Amino acid sequence: MKTWNAKDNEVERKWWVIDATDQTLGRLASETAKLLRGKHKPQFTPHVDTGDFVIITNTDKIRMTGKKWVDKTYFSRSRYFGSIKEKSAGLWLKRDSTFLVHEAVKGMLPKTKLGYGLITKLKTFKDASHPHAAQKPSAYTLAK
């Protein structure tokens, strides 16, 4: 008996909407990474993109436990010496809350060509409105 592997053109992709209101960032990111990767499907194949599209709304209302709003820092740097910059999660929440969700999910995906392609299927929005109504996304509920 042969092992069956999914092919990229055989995969049926769905669209999911996740409301991030009062959701913990890490739990939201891990569930989102699972949906993007396709691990919730019986035809999951590790080397093929079998995942779905995910829309995350209300990223301004996300939660973090403990003192992470102050203590958790995100670093950025250019190629010049001494150019490292750091910003706290609280500052990113005020500036661009979609960055927090995007970075958390990106950190949970594989660091390969496949993983870089998977992150393009993630759409994040600060409020409840999004321009993807034509795709007829289904609501995905997370356990609190």
Cα 56 to chain center, whole Å?
A: 8
pLDDT at 135 over 80: yes
Strands 73-76 and 85-88, sheet pairing: antiparallel
Which pLDDT does position 120 carry in this prediction?
Answer: 97
Question: Residues 52-58: what's their mean pLDDT?
Answer: 97
Quote the pTM value.
Answer: 0.91
* Amino acid at site 96: D
Which pLDDT does position 77 carry in this prediction?
Answer: 92
Please write the tens of the pLDDT for every residue from 34-45.
Answer: 999 999 999 999
Length of the chain: 144
SS (H, E, C) 73-135: EEEECCCCCCCCEEEEHHHHHHHCHHHHHHHHHHHCCCCCHHHHHHHHHEEECCCCCCCCHHH
Q: Which two tokens stand for residue 56?
A: 């995350």
User: What gap in Å lies between CA 88 and CA 86, rounded to an integer?
Assistant: 7
Question: Residues 122-127: what's their mean pLDDT?
Answer: 96
- The percent of residues in the chain predicted with pLDDT above 90, rounded, is 90
Fold entry, domain 14-64+96-139: Ribosomal Protein L13p; Chain: A; (3.90.1180)
Boundaries of every domain in the chain: 14-64+96-139
Which pLDDT does position 144 carry in this prediction?
Answer: 67
Please write the tens of the pLDDT for every residue from 74-89.
Answer: 999 998 998 999 999 9
Please write the tens of the pLDDT for every residue from 61-118.
Answer: 999 999 999 999 999 999 899 899 999 999 999 999 999 999 999 999 999 999 999 9
Which pLDDT does position 4 carry in this prediction?
Answer: 84
Give me the phi and psi of 108, to 5 degrees please: -100, 0
Mean pLDDT computed over every residue of the chain = 94
